[in-house]
A and B are shown apart, each in its own frame.
Chain A
Amino acid sequence: MESRNRLLLLTAAVAATFLLSGCASFRWPWHKDKVEKQQTEDEAAAEEEAEDADSTPPRVIEPNVARRKIKVPKIDNENWEVGLGMGFMSIEDFGTSSTYAAQLSYHVTEDFFFRLDAGQSTAGRTSFETLGGNIELLTGDERRFTYYSLSLGYNFLPGEVFLGRKLAMNSGFYLLGGIGSVKFAGDNRLTLNLGAGYRVLPTDWLAIHLGVQDRVFDSDLLGETKVTNNFETLLSATVFF
Chain B
Amino acid sequence: MEPSITTTRSRRLRRTSLAFALVLACSAPVTSLAKQTEEEKAAKAAAAQEKLLQVFVSEPYLELSTGPGRGYPVFRVVEREQSVDVLFRRTDWFKVRDEQGVEGWARARDMRRTKLADGSPFVFNLGDRAGFTSHDWELGIGGGDYGGANLISAYGAYSLTDYMKVELTLSQFLGNSSNGYKAELGLMHVIVPEWRISPILELGTGFVITEPRATIVLPSDRTDQTAYAGAGIRAYLTRRFFVRADYRWHTVFTSRDDNQELEEWKVVIACFF
Q: Number of contacting residues on B, CB 8 A? A: 46
Complex: A77 Cα to B152 Cα, angstroms: 28
Is A143 on the interface with B (CB-CB < 8 A)?
Answer: no
Q: List chain B residues, Cβ under 8 A from A204.
A: 88, 90, 95
Mostly helix, strand, loop or mixed at chain A's interface? Answer: strand
Tell me the A residues contacting B by CB distance below 8 Å. 67-70, 72-73, 75-79, 106-110, 112, 114, 116, 150-152, 155, 158-160, 166-170, 172, 178-181, 186-190, 203-204, 240
Q: Is B135 in contact with chain A by the CB < 8 A criterion?
A: no
Which B residues lie at the A interface, using CB under 8 A? 1, 4, 51-53, 66-72, 86-95, 116-118, 120, 124, 127, 139, 141, 143, 150, 152, 154, 172, 174, 179, 211, 213-214, 239-241, 269, 271, 273
Subset of 11 A-B contacts with CB under 8 Å: A77-B90, A78-B88, A78-B89, A109-B241, A110-B69, A114-B139, A158-B72, A167-B1, A169-B1, A179-B141, A204-B90
Contacts of A114 in B (CB 8 A): 139, 141, 271
- A to B contact number (C-beta, < 8 Å): 110
Closest to A81 in B: B90
Asked if B53 and A181 make an inter-chain contact with CB atoms under 8 angstroms apart, the answer reads no
A112 neighbours in B (Cβ, 8 Å) = 241
Contact status A190-B150, CB under 8 Å:
yes
Write the nearest CB–CB distance from B24 to chain A, whole angstroms: 22
Shortest distance from the beta carbon of A9 to any chain B beta carbon, whole Å: 93
The distance in angstroms between the C-alpha atoms of A152 and B143, with both chains bound, is 13
Find out whether the CB atom of B86 lies under 8 angstroms from the CB atom of A75: yes
Least CB distance from B14 to A in Å reads 15
A179 & B152 in contact (Cβ 8 Å cutoff): yes
- B87: chain A residues within 8 A (beta carbon): 76
Q: Lowest 3 A-B CB distances belong to which pairs?
A: A76-B88, A150-B141, A108-B271
A106-B139, A114-B139, A168-B66 known; A189 vs B53 contact (CB < 8 Å): no
Given A109-B239, A110-B92, A158-B72 in contact, is the A72-B118 Cβ separation under 8 Å?
no
- CB contacts (< 8 Å) of B271 on chain A: these are 106, 108, 114
- Assess A160 versus B118: contact at CB under 8 Å? Given A75-B86, A78-B89, A112-B241: no
Query: A158-B67, A188-B179 given. 18 additional CB < 8 A pairs?
Result: A75-B124, A79-B91, A106-B271, A108-B239, A108-B271, A109-B241, A110-B68, A110-B91, A114-B139, A114-B271, A152-B141, A170-B66, A179-B141, A181-B152, A181-B174, A186-B214, A188-B211, A203-B1
Closest to B111 in A: A75
Question: Please, which residues of chain A bring their CB within 8 A of the CB of B66?
Answer: 160, 168, 170
A-side contacts of B70, CB under 8 Å: 110
Tell me if A70 and B67 are in contact (CB < 8 A): no
Q: Are A190 and B91 touching (Cβ within 8 A)? A: no
Q: Which of A67, A75, A166 has the most CB of B within 10 A?
A: A75
Task: Give A61 to B154 CA distance when docked, in angstroms.
Answer: 61
Select the residue from B92, B139, B152 with max chain A CB neighbours within 10 A. Answer: B152
Decide: A110 and B141 in contact? CB cutoff 8 A: no
B88 and A179 form a contact (CB under 8 A):
no
A166 to B273, CA, bound (A): 37
